[in-house]
């Protein structure tokens, strides 16, 4: 019977992974990884991987490289999503101003231009236009025309 020297378990939703450092009666040590996947409180699959020191070292190197790659791609994605300063042309300023005065919320205007709402708010403040919160903005409603027919 092998002796368990160390055991740690990680749970994530329906998956449970247990890593155990074990020792045989002959004194040889190895790492055992047990994965248990359950679905609706029923055991679906259970798998076991046994690794010696050489395989564990190789996998550790591969995992480290994978983590570095994921971090590098995440930082590149974050750099791409940083909004660049937007310089608005006079035509765009007039269009934004007229849309805002018609009742289009600032968040929608910012989404259309692909810029931050603070840029829109600063531009409207330069135009001496009062800035309302999106909750205070009322969407224009069409008035009922008595000559229109109701759907049946």
Q: Which fold has domain 3-72?
A: Nuclear Transport Factor 2; Chain: A, (3.10.450)
Structure tokens at 134: 């999106």
Instruction: Quote the CA–CA distance of 55 and 52 in Å, as a whole number.
Output: 6
- Sketch the domain layout of the chain as residue ranges: 3-72, 83-138
First to last CA, the chain: 80
Q: Which CATH number is associated with domain 83-138?
A: 1.10.10
What phi and psi, each to the nearest 5 degrees, are found at residue 9?
Answer: -120, 140
8 A C-beta contact, residue 124 and residue 105: no
Reported as a single tens digit per residue, the pLDDT across 29-41 is 999 999 988 887 7
Per-residue pLDDT of the chain (152 residues; tens, 9 = 90+): 888 888 999 888 788 899 999 999 998 999 999 998 888 777 788 899 999 888 888 888 998 998 888 888 777 666 555 545 556 778 888 888 888 888 888 888 888 887 888 888 888 888 888 887 766 666 556 666 777 666 66
């Amino acid at each position: 019977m092998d002796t368990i020297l160390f055991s740690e378990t990680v749970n994530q939703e329906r998956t449970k992974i247990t890593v155990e450092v074990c020792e045989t009666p002959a004194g040889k040590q190895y790492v055992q990884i047990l994965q248990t996947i359950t679905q609706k409180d029923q055991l679906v699959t259970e798998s076991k991987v046994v690794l010696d020191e050489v395989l564990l070292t190789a996998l550790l190197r591969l995992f480290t490289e994978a983590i570095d790659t994921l971090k590098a791609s995440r930082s590149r994605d974050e750099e791409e999503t940083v909004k660049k300063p937007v310089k608005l042309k006079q035509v765009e300023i007039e269009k934004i101003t007229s849309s805002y005065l018609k009742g289009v919320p600032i968040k929608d205007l910012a989404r259309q231009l692909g810029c931050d709402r603070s840029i829109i708010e600063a531009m409207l403040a330069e135009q001496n236009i009062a800035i309302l919160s999106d909750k205070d903005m009322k969407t224009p409603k069409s008035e009922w025309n008595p000559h229109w027919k109701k759907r049946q």
